[in-house]
Amino acid sequence: MIIHVTHHRPVAGPVQYDRLRGTAKGDADKRGLTVDSCLGGARQALNPAGRFCDPEEFGQACAFLCGAKAGFITGQDILLDGGAFPGTL
């Protein structure tokens, strides 16, 4: 019996979850702004996708990599960054 093991590493850019809000809080406090204003349009516009990753999107990508349909993908770093990284790995 041959057992095939794959290893993938989903690499996330800014994802809308607690860690992003936590790091933005420090910036907001220094600048006298709200967290939402720090994470708003100007910061999201820095990403080519014009937004942050939704946690569900990241979860769906991870679920796909664990499924049978990804059986021919092996040992890859999958960038989930909305196009922010200007190259390939």
- More confident site: 88 or 77: 77
**Average pLDDT of 64-84?**
86
The count of other CB atoms within 10 Å of the CB of residue 38 is: 19
Residue 18 to residues 1, 24, 28, 52, 58, Cα–Cα distance (Å) = 43, 10, 15, 13, 14
* pLDDT value for 6: 66
The pTM (predicted TM-score) of the whole model is 0.70
* pLDDT value for 56: 92
**Residue among 62, 65, 41 at smallest CA distance from 52:** 41
Here the tokens at position 63 are: 């679920």
pLDDT band for position 39 (cuts 50, 70, 90): confident
**Average pLDDT of 59-87?**
86
Q: Is the pLDDT of residue 72 over 60?
A: yes
Query: What kind and span of H or E run contains 52?
Result: none
